[in-house]
Amino acid sequence: DGGITQSPKYLFRKEGQNVTLSCEQNLNHDAMYWYRQDPGQGLRLIYYSQIVNDFQKGDIAEGYSVSREKKESFPLTVTSAQKNPTAFYLCAVGREGEQYFGPGTRLTVT
């Protein structure tokens, strides 16, 4: 964290609704990442972007979408197509193995 902001910290939604999670950075990194963490589990990569206006699917991209219109911002939309959206979502910036993570957003869908 420090230069990485994720908001909100907690988010509650009804099933069937799309929801957008915010990630903003002022660390001037080109590369940004979205990970998902389930209880007691490691992190799994959802999407990543190595430069503005470009992004790639990670290992579990189904049901998610992203945009990268600005270097500072990489919002993640959790769509109604995501079957199990309740999780802890983490945004990271950095290059190669040295990545810096935001504080995370805990999403609960009921």
Residue 48 beta carbon to another protein: minimum distance, rounded to whole angstroms: 6
Residues engaged in binding another protein (CB under 8 A): 1, 31, 33, 42-43, 45, 48, 50, 56, 58-59, 88, 90, 92, 94-104, 106
Specify the DSSP element, H or E, that contains 72.
none
Measured from the CB atom, the residue of 18 and 51 that comes closer to another protein is: 51
Residue 12 beta carbon to another protein: minimum distance, rounded to whole angstroms: 16
Please, which residues have CB within 8 angstroms of residue 20's CB and are 6 or more apart in sequence?
Answer: 75, 76, 77, 78
Q: What's the rounded Cα separation, in Å, for the pair 96 and 76?
A: 21
Q: What's the rounded Cα separation, in Å, for the pair 36 and 16?
A: 19
Residue 8 beta carbon to another protein: minimum distance, rounded to whole angstroms: 14
Measured from the CB atom, the residue of 13 and 45 that comes closer to another protein is: 45
